[in-house]
Amino acid sequence: MITPPTAAPQRHTDPQAALDAARALYEQGVALLRDHLQRFVAGEDFAQRIRACYPRVTVHTETVARADTPLAYGFVAGPGRYDTTLTRPDLFGDYYLEQFRLLLRNHGQNGRMQLEIGTSTEPIPVQFAFAEHDHVEGSLDADRRVLLRDLFDLPDLGAMDDGIANGTHEPRPAADGITTHPLALFTAPRVDYSLHRLRHYTGTAPEHFQNFVLFTNYQFYIDEFIKLGHELMHLPRGEATLFEGGEAEDTYVAFVEPGNVVMRRTGQPLEPGDFLGEAPPRLPQMPAYHLVRKDRAGITMVNIGVGPSNAKTITDHIAVLRPHAWIMLGHCAGLRTTQRLGDYVLAHGYVREDHVLDEELPLWVPIPPLAEVQLALEAAVADVTRLERSELKRVMRTGTVASTDNRNWELLPFQAPHSTPERRFSQSRAIALDMESATIAANGFRFRVPYGTLLCVSDKPLHGEIKLPGMADRFYRERVNQHLRIGLRAIELLRRNGIDRLHSRKLRGFAEVAFQ
């Protein structure tokens, strides 16, 4: 077998040194795969299999002392050995560095913990070693593609399950008889798989995704986001602010659209990768747009379309990027007679009739509201609408949102003895209905990503107010811009209040992984 030169694991008490060691191992392995793949595509044959494996970080602790930290992450649950595989240090370098730093700070006093960096036994699938703009598999004929399987490792779905995140992972003894516990929710192959899926579904590279994400189920919101992004990029530095009286958003340096088309801020120098983007001939399934900050604390907005399946698919993959929060902004059916078209609904509970997560997250698991996100959304509504107290309550109601996987739920029987949707929604005290919010919130809970939902009532089918062309056009003109700005304002408030407060213990299990 052709492999990179082997090296003994190295132990570090400096997080930067540990990251540098992991980066060197990863780059060495990827370089070997790319070199041999290029030669294979050129027609060269090999008598041996080519393999490179992911780097791995391992920590040991023998103490039961709790870490003295106000954070909900950055420490292991108790004595034992913990590890995880690592990938893409060029993308996750800052994230890994922060996790390493917290582990050493919380457990490394007097040398009680070191970061051991070595090579794992988990192969890097050759597709995951491709450079961003490589598409070499398309140049292979059918026979060479079959031979590719004999010479290189391909993705193994058995190494990519979500057992750790789902709380069903059972640690097993390693070859030396010692049980190894996970350090992170996702293994390196699972991360790489999602990075490739993000390119496919959103039309943009993972590098452009920001740590605050807005989801919507209507293109109207995306149109407004694009308009705002373009306007912001044309304003000189020091003059731009998203909100009257708000802080200047000088740190927004670029706006990225599908096809990795980059628009830089006026006065901001271009970068080499900016010239590689090209608008696609048609939009991808769930196009993403990115208002970029240098610290990655900008805003990504994704049009997920209609339905819980899309909502689960995209959040399954964005979760590996470990965002600070994601928020759903969309339309809903108002279920109460007192609601008016254009009113807002701030979800504090969910009826999960979407069913797409029933296997991963049982229905008996409650999805709690997160105070930090709830307060930010409520404050954002007040800031943007300039309404207070009783006036604010007239346009925004807090309550339960029901999500269904049946877009035509209104056509189901409404007579006894059937358990009708109307009866179930009434029993749940739901005030609004959509198809995506419960999925996004439930996957946020499942993947420890802070979540929130602010919807806008666009129809009231139970009360005879259905969407008609004239009514819908007027509604969209009046509400979409305001609704979007509320979401942007909420993110500004979350960022200002500090991300440490977002990643709360509400989302953590009993024996939780150390990595955020």
Nearest to 179 by CA among 516, 448, 511: 511
User: What torsion do the CA atoms of 263, 265, 267, 272 make, to the nearest 10 degrees?
Assistant: -40
Q: Classify domain 10-195 by CATH architecture.
A: 2-Layer Sandwich (3.30)
CA distance 266 to 441: 37
pLDDT value at residue 500: 77
In this predicted model, what pLDDT tens digit does every residue of 447-485 receive, in sequence order?
Answer: 999 999 999 998 665 544 555 555 555 656 678 999 999
Q: Global pTM?
A: 0.93
How is residue 264 written in tokens? 């830089």
> Higher-confidence residue: 249 or 282?
282
Comma-separated ranges of CATH 3.40.50.1580 domains in the chain: 203-505
Least confident of 23-32, 69-78, 246-255, 372-381: 246-255
Q: Which residue shows structure tokens 């694991």?
A: 9
Encode pLDDT of 428-457 as tens digits. 898 899 999 999 999 999 999 999 999 999
What does the pLDDT average to over 113-125? 96
Q: At what angle do helices 308-318 and 437-447 cross, to 10 degrees?
A: 30
CATH architecture of 203-505: 3-Layer(aba) Sandwich (3.40)
- Residue range 303-332, pLDDT digits in tens: 999 999 999 999 999 999 999 999 999 998
Residue 271 has pLDDT above 90, yes or no: no
